[in-house]
Amino acid sequence: MRVIVLGSGVIGVSTAYFLAKAGHEVTVVDRQHGPALETSYANAGEVSPGYSAPWAAPGLMAKAVKWMLMKHSPLVIRPKLDPAMWSWCLKLLANANERSYEINKGRMVRLAEYSRDCLRALRDETGIRYDERAKGTLQVFRTQKQVDAAATDMAVLDRFKVPYSLLDVEGCAAVEPALRLVKEKIVGGLLLPGDETGDCFRFTNALAAMATELGVEFRYNTGIRKLESDGRRVTGVVTDAGTLTADSYVVAMGSYSPMLVKPFGLDLPVYPVKGYSLTLPIVDPAGAPESTVMDETHKIAVTRLGDRIRVGGTAELTGFDLTLRPDRRGPLDHVVSDLFPTGGDLSKAEFWTGLRPNTPDGTPIVGATPVRNLFLNTGHGTLGWTMAAGSGRVVADVVGGRQTEIDMDGLTVARYGRSASAASSRPTVGGVARPAA
């Protein structure tokens, strides 16, 4: 069938690739001049199924207050008169309990583990290269309290048979030799050996080239305005270049997805959480990380990508504001300097920001909707790179009417109990004018 994919980030391109592999005629539409130029451009570089966990955890409120009072705060909230922001925050807090955390983490790990396997299979089949490494993630703890709190996560990892090791300081230094220089700053760590790393931007561009060879048409520099409907199904997508039509439509527009589908009665609780990153050249390979080191205190990841170090993290609630705030660079500078003081040249760092499409329960929204030819692949938060291959594969399977290889329970929009009743009374739906990135 003919399928239009809206969005050319890592999620949209992965979806298009797997749809094309399944034999469909695919068109990808995006306002940017190429793939992966927004949220996928300079993320933390982690493919971390073992580290997949919702932000909504027990004790979240107390942690949030503590974070905001820290000198190098991982969290900043800039209040706005935005009902969507406050609604999202309240739903986040409603999920911050032990039962919800275990359910949500289980859903996330299920999809993330599958996605990592899909990525490996794709790499083996195509030989795609993107500064990838398969040396795991080391979550480092600066306090014993953090070590004790890891027990909850380890219980979920046990349930899904995800390998891990709880390490002391010497164990951390054995995995990441550069940490020997700063051993007094950590008390232990959790090693997730099945995790990987890689440059999401390079991957997405390479995969887009492969998708093009399979016949996928990419329409760049094309603004997406609205979806049209006959009351039962989507009949077209209105763009700056005219109306495009297909048999099925996949919305993979990250934080902007809710705007497009809300008039269908789909009230997606996806809200942008702004993140920042630094990319700096390695000047001392022995002083740089071997893979990813996640600083649990500051919620910042430090990752080796070829001859570069990527430092990614922090969370800022400020709506769709993409202002590159110099003060938010401080936490990134601090962590990389504190843990890897000799590894890279901060004076040559590229500073970047992007909007992560977060759901309040942490789980993305993938698969079918009550509108029979409208599908979703959005809400991946900080784990879009981790979940991209698996999400693209399952959505392609759902669109094509095939049985998915994993259980989709809890992954679709159905978990919110929404209906598409509004679509029956609105001949034209959607409408989104995205600000320039």
List, as residue ranges, the binding site for FAD.
3-17
Distance CA(195)–CA(292), nearest Å, equals 9
Rg of the Cα atoms in the chain = 21
Tell me if 136 sits within 8 A of 194, measured CB to CB: yes
Furthest C-alpha separation in the chain: 65
Distance CA(64)–CA(74), nearest Å, equals 9
Tell me if 20 sits within 8 A of 5, measured CB to CB: no
Annotate 230-299 with DSSP letters as a single string.
Answer: -SSSEEEEEETTEEE--SEEEE--GGGHHHHHGGGT-----EEEEEEEEEEEBS-GGGS-SSEEEETTTT
Tell me if 190 sits within 8 A of 138, measured CB to CB: yes
Residues annotated in a binding site: 3-17
Helix axis angle, 10-21 to 200-213, nearest 10°: 30
